[in-house]
A = this chain, B = another copy of it.
């Protein structure tokens, strides 16, 4: 791979470990004469004066370092839609499915990356377009999942699922998760969905507390497939949530159209880690 020459650093704000790690990173990069940029929140957390707005930052760098948890990576990924800039995701706390590099491995891994010795995994994303009375009023791209769910007060919501214009089923449930393979180990897993290898190009459809007991997770191809979900419920308390981070209020008869994004996210992989080792550690499969 090409060695990066300009690096963006985005950290979880208001964390002491972010501050010290970023300051170490800055020294490391300065010593090697490599340009770097911080976004505003990260700069403020580190008491550094210079920053660039996030959406500008991502256009000026050829490597992005994400410091934090899986949530930090999800936010960075949404900024990168349409770009091929790779992400080096470092966890500041415990191992995440998206953050396989530990903070004390950062310089060792970065040396390799700066020498062009690294591999990237391509992760598919999903696009959601929300239509109300025939007009699109919102478009969102996610790395993990698109969730439609009820508020705390609503009793149940009804959602109609179509795949490529064909009616599949009507869910009466707390909600519905449409997940990427990357997102399969997030909310999908809590809702009893399967683990899907992140190299696959699939959509995973998992109902949340379905009243029809035969409703199960369905895994379908993502290429050439177009889902639409029709909000049949008359509740005023239905929400669309993107990657667990962005919320959009929904109304009866809104339709959410979901398809594979043209963009992929390029995640730099840890040379000594692999998916199954991370899975085993996160799922505690080694224990007896």
Contacts and interface: CB of A to CB of B under 8 A. Distances in A.
Contacts of A286: 169
A212 B174 CA distance: 19
Contact of A287 (B155, B196, B199, B284): B284
Interface of A: 94, 149-153, 155, 163, 166-170, 173-174, 187, 189-197, 199-200, 202, 204, 208-221, 237-239, 241, 244, 247, 274, 276-277, 279-280, 283-288
Given A152-B152, A174-B174, 19 more contacts: A151-B152, A152-B247, A153-B247, A166-B276, A168-B285, A174-B190, A189-B216, A190-B210, A194-B219, A195-B216, A195-B218, A196-B218, A197-B218, A199-B221, A212-B287, A213-B214, A213-B283, A214-B284, A219-B219
A218 B238 CA distance: 30
A242 to B, nearest CB: 12
Contacts of A215: 283, 285
B212 A200 contact: no
A197 B168 contact: no
Give 6 nearest A-B pairs by CB, closest first: A152-B239, A169-B285, A194-B217, A190-B209, A194-B194, A151-B152
A219 B153 CA distance: 26
Contacts of A202: 200, 202, 219
21 contacts: A151-B151, A151-B152, A152-B238, A155-B244, A174-B174, A189-B211, A189-B213, A194-B194, A194-B218, A195-B216, A195-B217, A200-B220, A200-B221, A202-B202, A208-B209, A209-B209, A212-B287, A213-B216, A214-B283, A216-B283, A284-B284
